[in-house]
Amino acid sequence: MAADCKSAAPCELRRFESSPVHQVFGVVMNKLVVALGVYALLATLAWTTLSDPKFRFATLAILAMFALRTWSWNKKLESERREHHDE
């Protein structure tokens, strides 16, 4: 016997922690971890492969500058997200 639509229980709207709103922070944090890991890998490769100390330290300084910029960008996004969420 087939059930009709009227006999079905009403659907409830549920909030899950896996909703896109809750995933934004996780995605950004994962991107930050990956980016900082890539900078660390490049720094290790530069340290082991460059023999001239002048080029080695210049390369490490540039990588550190990019890592700091990436970290500060992440902090800016977090603060903007908090301000938007508080409104």
- Domain region containing 61: 23-86
Considering the domain boundaries, does residue 7 fall inside one?
Answer: no
Considering the domain boundaries, does residue 16 fall inside one?
Answer: no
Distances from the Cα of 36 to the Cαs of 20, 43, 57, in angstroms? 24, 10, 18
What does the pLDDT read at residue 81?
A: 86
| Full pLDDT tens readout for the chain, 87 residues | 555 555 555 555 555 555 555 555 666 668 899 999 999 999 999 999 999 999 999 999 999 999 999 999 999 988 888 888 776
What does the pLDDT read at residue 66?
A: 97
What does the pLDDT read at residue 86?
A: 74
Considering the domain boundaries, does residue 46 fall inside one?
Answer: yes
Considering the domain boundaries, does residue 8 fall inside one?
Answer: no
Considering the domain boundaries, does residue 13 fall inside one?
Answer: no
Looking at the structure of the chain, the number of domains it has is 1
